[in-house]
Structure 1
Amino acid sequence: MLTIGELAAYAGVTVRAVRHYHQVGLLPEPERDASGYRRYGATAVVSLIKIRTLADAGVPLAQIRPMLAAGPEEFGEAVRRIDRRVSDEIQRLETIRKQIAQLASGDNAALPSAVTYFLDRLREIGASEAMVRAERDGWILVTARWPDRVVEWIPGKLAQLEDPRVVRLYRILSALIDSDPSGDQAAVALMEEAADIMAALSEEAVESGDVISTEDKQDNLPFDLLDALADEAHPGAQIMRNLMRERGWYSWTRTERIPKPS
């Protein structure tokens, strides 16, 4: 016969937990013996181990009571349901682990492999790591909005990297991303050159019909988020957007002309 402390120690719980199980009616509380102590037998040990195991598996205490009162078949089925739920939770946690690993690896976070390949190509043409990170974050926003379309767009983006102007553009942006354009005439000159390149590329895209669909243009939020992301990352983003507007385009994030006043 065990004291409450010995019972708790044997079952791997605290005395406080045993008393709580008494209070909620999960574990019968024995009468005191002649010496004034409550003594627990083997049945209490088995019951407490069952309670602890079910509680550790995340079963609410309110559900444990009917399980303990159930027959062998009902109890077995209840345990199998718990096992399936635990298995599902393990799979969910494994997925989270993979996502965390992707976050740790940098470019793979929330991005399909086609995009990470594009980011690698940016490194190959001379884009800085800061520029690649900025591009990556932009693609995370785009992928979240158009997960099924991104893979379709990547071949066109890769083809653009064969254009010397695009290579020059990314190198200019790489130089600018680590600079403060305020009062820096050299930086302003680079921004003017970058805006000229982007305006020319936008013009060619419109002429060839290689532009975002009318339906997608109506969804302003992704474009607003891309602009906001650039503004939060670099003080020159607003300047660059103004330069694009001077050239007749809303910004570099969307290939769309500003309507000319009639």
Structure 2
Amino acid sequence: MRIGELAALLGVSTRTVRHYHHQGVLPEPPRLANGYREYGMRDAVALARVRRLAGLGLSLDEIRDVMADERSRELPEILAEIDADLAAQERDIRLRRARLAEVLRRVEDGTLSPDDTASPGLLSFLKAIDVPASPSAAWDRDLLMLVDSASRAPGGRWTFAALDALTADPEPAARGRDFYRRLDELAGAEPGDPRVEPLAEELAAFSLEHMLGDQVPDGWRAEVVEPFLDGLAPAQAEVVRRAIRLIGARLPR
């Protein structure tokens, strides 16, 4: 397969694959006589492994070391591990679908109002920091609405800790707009851009101070939001991953 087919198979961009090649975490196959590079099953498995390690919080340097150690592993062992990961994702998807089915039922029987899938505090917060012209703000609004709706279902209750106070304070709202502006500026950047780490640090600190308190949403880990990062550029997605990992590491459980 060609690089575009490999990228599509794993749900990433060709730019991300080339970045992994450049950083030495993903071996690059030699060019054939026709000038193209051909990727095979082992390349797909290696790329899946890199993505999983990145989602677990490893740096590219750490991933490079792990991948070097694991090149001697047998393919069936690696595939079995990936299959176990997919099984866990499948369970998460079934749970989400069950929650969405309940929302759909309420829509069909007329018991669901337009804003009933979000808590009042979240709606006030989104209104206070609304930045219609920002692609990052639009993406974040959609994700927050989904997380809030799902977490308020039975067995997964979670609410933002201090949204009412936050919306009454213009300073945090202004900082929120600044975060969106800085995320938008990373639209054409790579994950290794020097602006990524400080922005992730500030976002994590802001969330801990103003939004989360000491509450940890169920299943709080970077892999959970991975399916929702496709609409972001690589550097923007990396900011979100790092911020979530930082929050998870600092909150009590």
Tell me if both proteins adopt one fold, taking TM over 0.5 as the criterion: no
Rg larger in structure: 1
> If the TM-score is normalised by the length of the shorter chain, which range does it land in?
0.3 to 0.5
Q: Which has the higher contact order (CA 8 A, sep 6+)?
A: 2
* TM-score, normalization by structure 2: 0.40
